[in-house]
Amino acid sequence: MGTRPSISWLRRIGEVSCLGLVVTAVAPSAAASGSLGPLGIALVVAFLVLSLGIHEAAHAWVAYRCGDPTAKELGRMTLNPIPHIDLWMTILLPGLLAFMGAPIFGGAKPVPVNFHRLRSPLRDMALVALAGPASNFLIAIVFAAAWKICIAYGGYEQDSLMALVLQWSFFSNVMLTAFNLIPIPPLDGSRVMTWLLPAPMRHGYMALERFGILLVFLLLYIPQVRALLFQMGDGIMSLIASLTSGIG
């Protein structure tokens, strides 16, 4: 077989996962939670669920454009968040972690992608994967612009409910962008890394996927990793600040 990936490996990479990070993003810190109140937290979570739905729809749309209609045929190429909700990853796991006071992460139901139906499988899988973080980046720009507009022209104070909800929704999408770009299988960044790696290294690298979620969860407890993640987030926020500098 040499360096050629096995069929089982192809099936595994045929699901582009969206593991949404919420290290203080889905459930804000105690001080911020107090400012937001129950309604504000509910609105932030609702916007995050919508963002996860758009993330998954972006995966499905790019897969369709690259020749694989599987997700479209299964009704997953939709902005309706309901088909993208996974009972365990979207609801129960984040809720359990929040209750335990642990770093919170969760995700949407993975979009099925048939590796063999893509026109240029490795390259197209990377494009399909990048579509998710790219969608969160664009959503973050929208929330940043809305936040600036409501402060500059809407008469809202920076600590008002509207401003805080927009600010936390912006931050959540920034962190979703950064988190999903981490090159650890099954995160989206790993699909790009698979395309870039030399052929002899691909199979061993993707074999990490069987431990991927565990690795991600453990890494979130390493302060240096979390610091690096927030540095990535800071870089993304600086870029968005530049892109929206003309507003307000």
- Establish how many alpha carbons lie within 13 A of residue 34's alpha carbon, considering only the half-sphere containing its beta carbon: 2
DSSP 102: P
Give exposure, 160-194, as e/b (b: 16+ Cβ within 10 Å).
Answer: bebbbbbbbbbbbbbbbbbbbbbebbbbbbbbbbb
Q: Report the C-alpha gap between 149 and 142 in whole angstroms.
A: 10
**Residue closest to 66 by CA, chosen among 137, 134, 120, 1:** 120
Q: Report the C-alpha gap between 16 and 128 in whole angstroms.
A: 8
**Residue closest to 21 by CA, chosen among 151, 216, 191, 157:** 216
Q: Report the C-alpha gap between 68 and 8 in whole angstroms.
A: 19
Tokens 């790696």: give the residue. Answer: 197
Q: Which of 56, 73, 157, 209 is catalytic?
A: 56
Task: Identify whether 56 is a catalytic site residue.
Answer: yes
End-to-end CA distance of the chain: 59
Contact 127, 58 (CB under 8 A): no
Q: Which residues are known to be catalytic?
A: 56
